[in-house]
Amino acid sequence: MKLSILTNGETTLSHLSEAYQLLDQNQKNQLHLTIIDLGNRKIDELEDVEATLVGADLVIFDAHGVRQDVVEWLSSLLSKGTAHIVPLGGNSAEIASLLKLGSLTFANLPRQEGHTHAATSLPLEGMDEGKSDYEHYVRFTEYWRGGGTANMLGLLCLAGREYGGCHLLPEPKEPVYVRELTIMEPSSRTVYSSAASYRQSNRYDEGRPNVAILYLGNSNPLDTAECIAQLKEQLEAFVNVMPIAFPSVMNIPLDRLRELLLGEGHQVDLIVNLLPFRLGIGPGGGNQDGAVQMLEQLDVPMLHPLLLNSRTEQEWRQSASGLEPSLLLVQVMLPELDGSMEMFPIAALQEDGEDTELNVPLKRLALIPERTKRLTDRIRRWLALRSKPNAEKKLALIGYNYPPGEGTVFGGSFLDTFESIARLLSWLKQQGYHTEELSAAELRARFIEGGLVNSAKWSDPQASSQLIRYADPHFTQKLSRRSWGEEAISRWGQPPGDIMTDNDSFLIPGLMIGQVFIGLQPSRGIHEDPEKSLHDRSLLPTHQYTAFYQWIREQFQADAIVHIGTHGTLEFQRGKEAALSGDCVPDDLLVDLPNLYYYHVGNPSEAMIAKRRSHAVLIGYQAPPFTEAELYGEWRELEALLHEYREAKQLAPERCEAILQELQAVAKSLDFSAETVELMEEELYRMQRSLIPSGLHVLGDSYSPEVALNHMQFVLRHERGNIRSIRGLLAERQGVRADALTSGKHVSLLRQLDEEANALVTAYVSNKAIPDMYKSEHPDWLKQLEASLEYGYEAYLRSLQNEEAEGLMRALEGRYVPAKLAGDVLRTPEILPTGRNLYQFDPRLVPSRTAAERGAIVAENSIQQYREQHGDYPHTTAVILWGIETSRTQGETIGQILHYMGVRIGGGVGTFRTEYEVIPLAELGRPRLNVMVHITGVFRDLFPNLLEELHDLFRKVSELDEPNELNWFKAHTRSMEEELLAAGYEASQAHDLACARIFGPAEGEYGTTVTRMIETKLWNEESELGAAYTDSQQHVYSALARGQAEPELYRSHMLEVDIVSQIRSSHEWEVTDSDHYYEYFGGLAKSVEVMKGRKADIHITDTTGEQIKTESAEHAIARGVRTRLTNPKWINDLLKHPYHGAKEMASRFEYVLGLAATTGKVEPWVFDRLHDVYMADEALSRKLQDNNRWAYHAMIETLLESEQRGYWTPDEQVLHQLRQKYLELEGELEGE
pLDDT of residue 122: 43
Query: What's the whole-number mean pLDDT along residues 635-649?
Result: 93
- Comparing 2-16, 527-541, 1081-1095, which segment has the lowest mean pLDDT? 527-541
One-letter amino acid at 853 equals E
Rama region for 1043: left / alpha / beta (φ>0; ψ in -120 to 50; rest): left
pLDDT at 265 over 70: no
Confidence of residue 250 (pLDDT cuts 50, 70, 90): confident
Task: State how far the Cα of 700 lies from the Cα of 702, in Å rounded to an integer.
Answer: 6
Q: Is the pLDDT of residue 284 over 90?
A: no
Confidence tier at 280 by pLDDT (50, 70, 90) = confident
Listed by start position, the domains of the chain span: 2-164, 182-381, 388-626, 630-689, 705-799, 844-1119, 1126-1232
What mean pLDDT is predicted for residues 871-894?
A: 96
- Spatial contact of 444 and 452, defined as CB atoms under 8 Å apart: no
Say how many C-beta atoms besides its own lie within 10 A of residue 664's C-beta: 16
Residue 166 burial (CB count, 10 A): 21
Residues 443, 418 contacting (CB under 8 angstroms): yes
Cα separation, 9 vs 819, whole angstroms:
32
- Distance between CA atoms of residues 820 and 604, nearest Å: 11
- pLDDT band at residue 1230, thresholds of 50, 70 and 90? confident
Confidence of residue 814 (pLDDT cuts 50, 70, 90): very high
Q: At what angle do helices 968-982 and 944-958 cross, to 10 degrees?
A: 90
Per DSSP, what are the bridge partners of residue 183?
Answer: 192, 244
- Average pLDDT, whole number, for the chain? 93
Q: What's the first-to-final CA gap in the chain, in angstroms?
A: 92
Q: Is the pLDDT of residue 112 over 80?
A: no
What is the distance between the alpha carbons of residues 629 and 238, in angstroms, rounded to a whole number? 59
pLDDT at 584 over 70: yes
Count CA within 13 A, CB hemisphere, residue 941.
33
User: pTM of the predicted model, to two decimals?
Assistant: 0.94
Q: Is the pLDDT of residue 740 over 80?
A: no
Residues 145, 134: Cα–Cα separation, whole Å: 16
Which of the residue ranges 87-91, 126-130, 334-338 would you say has the lowest mean pLDDT?
126-130
Rounded Cα distance between 1196 and 1222, Å, is 6
Look at residue 128 in the predicted model and tell me its pLDDT: 52
Determine if the peptide bond prior to 567 is cis (ω within 30°): yes
Distance in angstroms (rounded) separating the CA atoms of residues 506 and 97: 68
Q: What average pLDDT does range 42-64 have in this prediction?
A: 84
Q: Cα torsion for 587, 588, 594, 600, to the nearest 10°?
A: -50
Whether pLDDT at 536 is above 80: no
Other CB atoms within 10 Å distance of the CB of residue 651: 8
Q: With residue 689 as reference, give the H or E element that holds it.
A: helix 677-689
Q: How far is Cα 109 from Cα 118, in angstroms, rounded to an integer?
A: 7
Distance of alpha carbon 15 from alpha carbon 358, whole angstroms: 12
Residue 289: the pLDDT is: 83
CA–CA separation, 1018 and 1147 (whole Å): 18
- What number is the average pLDDT over the span 443-456? 93
**pLDDT value at position 115?**
44
Per-residue model confidence (pLDDT) at position 173: 95
pLDDT (mean) for 685-692: 96
User: Helices 677-689 & 747-767, crossing angle to 10 degrees?
Assistant: 20
Closest CA to 597 of 450, 817, 782: 817
- The DSSP annotation for 105-149 comes to EGGG----TT--S--TTS--TT--TTHHHHHHHHHHHHHHHH-HH
Tell me what pLDDT residue 529 has.
Answer: 83
426/421 Cα distance (integer angstroms): 9
Pairwise pLDDT comparison (313 vs 51), residue with the higher score: 313
Structure confidence at residue 114 (pLDDT): 42
Q: How far is CA 447 from CA 85, 506, 1226, in A?
A: 72, 17, 20
pLDDT confidence bin for 145, thresholds 50/70/90? very high
- 702 Cα distance to chain centroid: 25
Question: When comparing pLDDT for 275 and 262, which is higher?
Answer: 275
- Residues 692-719: pLDDT tens digits? 999 999 999 999 999 999 999 999 999 9
pLDDT tens digits along 1132-1171: 999 999 999 999 999 999 999 999 999 999 999 999 999 9
Higher confidence at residue 266 or residue 59?
Answer: 59
C-alpha–C-alpha distance, residues 692 and 608, integer Å: 26
Pick from 762, 790, 775, 777: nearest CA to 732: 777
Residues 199 and 261 sit within 8 Å (Cβ to Cβ): no
What's the mean pLDDT in 126-139?
Answer: 77
Give the torsion sign (CA, 1079, 932, 332, 337). positive
pLDDT for position 321: 93
pLDDT tens digit string along 393-409? 999 999 999 999 999 99
Q: How far apart are CA 518 and CA 516, in angstroms?
A: 6
Evaluate if residue 911 carries a pLDDT over 70: no
d(CA 16, CA 31) in angstroms, rounded, equals 13
* Mean pLDDT score, 770-793: 95
At 109, the pLDDT band (50, 70, 90 cuts) reads confident
Alpha-carbon distance values, 762 to 439, 702, 718, 767 (Å)? 37, 19, 17, 9
Nearest to 51 by CA among 88, 33, 32, 77: 77
pLDDT score at 1004: 87
| Separation of alpha carbons 1086 and 1157, rounded Å | 8
d(CA 116, CA 106): 9
Under the banding of pLDDT at 50, 70 and 90, the label for residue 537 is low
CA 356/CA 614 separation, integer angstroms? 43
d(CA 1068, CA 91): 41
pLDDT (0 to 100) of residue 534 = 61
CA distances to 73, 99, 124 from 59, in Å: 15, 10, 25
CA 573 to mean position of chain CA atoms: 17
Q: Which of 183-197, 613-627, 699-713 has the lowest mean pLDDT?
A: 183-197
pLDDT band at 675 (very low <50, low <70, confident <90, very high): confident
Sequence-ordered alpha helix ranges (H) in 180-336:
195-201, 225-235, 254-262, 288-298, 313-318, 325-328, 334-336
| Helical spans, DSSP H, in 670-746 | 677-689, 705-715, 726-733
- Cα-flanking dihedrals φ and ψ of residue 294, to 5°? -65, -40
Whether the Cβ atoms of residue 215 and residue 244 lie closer than 8 Å to each other:
yes
User: Which of 854, 849, 917, 851 lies closest to 889, judged by CA?
Assistant: 851
- 543 within 8 A of 584, measured Cβ to Cβ: no
Give me the pLDDT at residue 1213, please. Answer: 96
Distance, in Å, from the CA atom of 397 to the CA atom of 254, rounded to the nearest integer, reads 38
- Most distant CA pair in the chain, distance: 111
pLDDT value at residue 757: 97
Instruction: For domain 2-164, give the CATH number.
Output: 3.40.50
User: Once rounded to an integer, what is the mean pLDDT over residues 992-1018?
Assistant: 95
Q: What is the 3-state secondary structure (H, E, C) of 1102-1145?
A: ECCCCCCEEEEHHHHHHHHHHHHHCCHHHHHHHHCCCCHHHHHH
Which 3 state secondary structure label does DSSP give 932? strand
Q: Residue 53's pLDDT is what?
A: 85
- How much of the chain exceeds pLDDT 90, in percent? 83
How many angstroms separate the CA atoms of 426 and 433, rounded? Answer: 10
438 vs 424: CA distance, rounded Å: 10
Contact in structure between 1114 and 1163 (CB atoms under 8 Å): yes
Q: For residue 129, is pLDDT > 90?
A: no
